[in-house]
């Protein structure tokens, strides 16, 4: 397996991010920065990074493709397996299809129809296991050992972090004067990658992670000074319900993340509706959470703010429920 960094426990560097950018050039969608009029902005400028326009409908393709591209042909020939709440599964299925690789994905029994259907359409074999990240990882490890598959981690790996971090590279290249970036926090691959990229390329820019109030794994980890396992999580933001922040992402957070805030489900619903109404972007709850942080005042708007909207994989029934709620 080709190494992206010299030591798997070390933090990724700017060359690692640039290498991932080259790997994804012409393959991943370079999503634009779109202006958004936020009521009460008082001169502050808000731009949206719409990763629902990414291949597979979410940012996850960046990391999945980067990971598979780094494998040797012999490793890819063994097939890959990925535990996922949904978006990582679709991303791995798509990348595997592009490389002509067999993919198996382990999803929760509560997976949404949109996310399961997306992985199936892309040719992945579906396994269902439990309701949390540990259940999925345990089953993935069993299948890996039984069949010799290569595990594609959802977030706790330097190749994944570098791939997701290309989102941050694009933000700085396209908007050099950005002074605040808001990014969703799930297991930590996207948030750690974006924070690292932003701070390496624009050190004065603040980076704030946003997670559901029902799944505050980074908040609790920062309080404890190390990753902790939550007893349970609950949120409409199904992509952000990891019970524990990844160890390698957390190491990056400690160096590069300025702050983390939480937002409740009611605010997330309002953000989903606002984004559809005002910007015509369909964001799943996990993707809309950053905009919710601005709407609620959990994070104060600055002169030049970017919200990363991490994905838009939501089924019709779920979307209609959100739109009609209240």
Q: Show the 3-state SS of 53-84.
A: HCHHHECHHHHHHHHHHHCCHHHHHCCEEEEC
CA distance 85 to 129: 10
Residue 287: CA atoms inside 13 Å, Cβ hemisphere, count?
27
Tens of pLDDT, residue by residue over 166-186, are 999 999 999 999 999 999 999
Residue 322 bridge partners (DSSP): none
Q: What share of the chain is helix, strand, coil (3-state, %, to 5)?
A: 50, 15, 35
Q: What is the mean pLDDT of residues 54-76?
A: 97
Average pLDDT, the chain: 93
List, in order, residues 6 or more apart from 274 with CB less than 8 Å away.
Answer: 291, 295
Alpha helices in the chain (DSSP H): 14-24, 60-70, 73-77, 87-99, 113-121, 133-147, 158-174, 189-201, 217-224, 247-256, 265-274, 285-296, 316-324
* Location of structure tokens 């991943």: 28
Q: Sketch out the chain's domains with CATH numbers.
A: 14-58+157-324 (3.40.50.1100), 60-151 (3.40.50.1100)
Contact 165, 138 (CB under 8 A): no
Least trusted range by pLDDT, from 37-41, 56-60, 81-85, 305-309: 37-41
Tens of pLDDT, residue by residue over 2-51, are 334 433 458 999 999 999 999 999 999 999 999 998 888 788 999 999 99
Residue scoring higher pLDDT (87 or 75): 75
Asked whether residue 325 carries a pLDDT value surpassing 70, the answer given is no
Question: What pLDDT does 291 receive?
Answer: 98
Q: How confident is the model at residue 215 (pLDDT cuts 50, 70, 90)?
A: very high
Tens of pLDDT, residue by residue over 222-274, are 999 999 999 999 999 989 999 999 999 999 999 999 999 999 999 999 999 99
Question: What pLDDT does 43 receive?
Answer: 82
Residue scoring higher pLDDT (96 or 130): 96
Catalytically active residues, by annotation: 60, 310
Q: What is the pTM of this model?
A: 0.93
List, in order, residues 6 or more apart from 14 with CB less than 8 Å away.
Answer: 200, 201
Alpha helices in 202-264 (DSSP H): 217-224, 247-256
Question: What pLDDT does 5 receive?
Answer: 40
Question: For the chain, what percent of residues have pLDDT higher than 90?
Answer: 83
């Amino acid at each position: 397996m080709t190494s992206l960094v010299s030591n798997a426990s070390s933090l990724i560097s700017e060359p690692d991010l640039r290498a991932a950018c080259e790997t994804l050039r012409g393959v991943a969608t370079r999503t634009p920065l779109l202006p958004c009029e936020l009521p009460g902005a008082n001169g502050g400028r808000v731009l949206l990074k719409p990763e629902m326009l990414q291949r597979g409908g979410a940012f996850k393709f960046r990391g999945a493709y980067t990971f598979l591209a780094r494998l040797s042909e012999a490793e890819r020939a063994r097939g890959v397996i990925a535990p996922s709440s949904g978006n990582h599964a679709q991303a791995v299925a798509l990348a595997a299809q592009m490389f002509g690789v067999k993919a198996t994905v382990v999803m929760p029994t509560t997976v949404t129809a949109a996310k399961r259907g997306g992985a199936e359409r892309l040719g992945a074999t579906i396994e269902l296991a439990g309701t949390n990240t540990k259940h999925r990882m345990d089953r993935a490890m069993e299948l890996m050992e039984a069949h010799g598959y290569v595990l594609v981690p959802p977030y706790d790996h330097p190749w994944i972090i570098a791939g997701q971090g290309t989102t941050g590279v694009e933000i700085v290249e396209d908007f050099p004067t950005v002074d605040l970036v808001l990014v969703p926090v799930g297991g930590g691959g996207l948030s750690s990658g974006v924070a690292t990229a932003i701070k390496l390329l624009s050190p004065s820019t603040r980076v704030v992670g946003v997670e559901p109030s029902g799944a505050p794994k980074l908040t609790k980890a920062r309080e404890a000074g190390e990753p902790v396992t939550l007893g349970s999580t609950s949120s409409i933001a199904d992509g952000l319900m990891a019970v524990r922040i990844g160890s390698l992402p957390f190491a990056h957070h400690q160096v590069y993340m300025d702050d983390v805030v939480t937002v409740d489900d009611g605010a997330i619903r309002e953000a989903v509706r606002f984004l559809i109404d005002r910007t015509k972007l369909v964001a799943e709850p996990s993707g809309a959470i950053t905009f919710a942080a601005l709407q609620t005042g959990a994070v104060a708007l600055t002169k030049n703010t970017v919200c990363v909207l991490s994905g838009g994989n939501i089924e019709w029934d779920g979307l209609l429920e959100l739109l009609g709620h209240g």
